[in-house]
Structure 1
Amino acid sequence: MLLAIDGLLSAPEVEALRASIDTIDFADGRASAGRYAREVKANDQAAPSPARNAVLAKVEKALGGNALFQAAARPARMTPLILSRYRQGQTYGLHVDDALMQGIRTDISFTLFLSEPESYDGGELVIEDGFESRAVKLPAGGLMAYPSTTLHRVAPVTRGTRLAVVGWVQSRLRDAAQREMLFDLDRAVREIHAREGKSELFDLLAKSRSNLLRMWAD
């Protein structure tokens, strides 16, 4: 399931983060790539510092408080977040994310865009889904989540700077189809409750959702 979440961070929050990022040192991004992905990766990632840690902590808090992200991903564990930077000429070629990162199984990958799309050219997140390539370039504060099993790349940046936070989720539901079904049921439960309140239909849907989660969750 591909999911775009608009406004995970508000415009003032993004602006404050970018101001903090201006004070952060960056290093070669290949340090966090797997053996083969390292061959096609050319970007920067923020070096450890209190300022970087504060930026990533704010993003992690936003992820934890976003109902849509929580319902879609159902996180059990999450890798440490990475603050990445792509400047002119930098790119990340076609690759699949490592299945295990620091002992965490990667089920869902996500990119949180921090640069306004008009401030840079290129830099699209390109996801291959077997039928077509989907190029994604969201407004600052928007997040794209997608299965870690997919081939994907970051198109070369030809102007400006692309800032983003990336991370990976080990879901309580290993199976992507099960995650999508429960995500749809969550939406149905909320909409029925908003329309009818606690009705017989609401109770049946809520019961099915809870029992499927109980059946499938690790």
Structure 2
Amino acid sequence: MGVLLWINGPFGVGKTQTAYELNRRLAASVVCDPEFVGYGLHRTMPRQLRGDFQDLPAWRQGVFEVLDHTLRHHDGPVIAPMTVIEPQYFAETVGRLRDSGHEVFHFALLASRDTVLNRLSDRGLGFGGLLRRAGQQERMLRREEFAVQRLDRGLQALTAPQFADQVWTDTLSIPQVADRIAATAGLVLAPNTDGDLRARMRRLAVTISHIRP
């Protein structure tokens, strides 16, 4: 069976970018994004009934079944980037996978509130610094209203001991966060040979591929 790397953290901290950095540099790895289970459930429902899909028992059951099946049949690391801050939902997904005998490494990526807000305004090619200097960060963050509204609660909840291991990322690049995770899990990453431009283009491609449907 494979090993699971669950990458938790508040919206905007860098979970998905870290997951795909690990995937790029970790042989035989696969990204299984639990968010797409939720998107699938939403697509079967009228819009007025689409609340937080994590509140649906079908989402928690579906995530468990998808990851359990993948871990049993995929011969390589499985990477799941997903924010889960409700203790019961965490128990029904990460905890249940552990109880089923899988080797699960859980990481909560954390950073200061200002750092996460800067990252939210910096999505894409990385022009957030220019926008901040031009006083346009607030305009950019209006596009990230969903993430901003949930930021404080996520940062507070994920510092609890049950959400270890916590990785503070304020001074770490995405490749450095991936290095830290791999070292903790006893996995060996390929060297990071990306220059700045290529790294920015990779991040943009990941961002575009994960625009909410």
TM category, shorter: under 0.3
Say which structure, 1 or 2, has more relative contact order (CA 8 Å, 6+ apart). 2
> Structure 2 length normalisation: TM-score?
0.28
TM-score by length of 1: 0.27
Structure 1 or 2: more helix by fraction:
2
More strand by percentage: 1
Greater radius of gyration (CA):
1
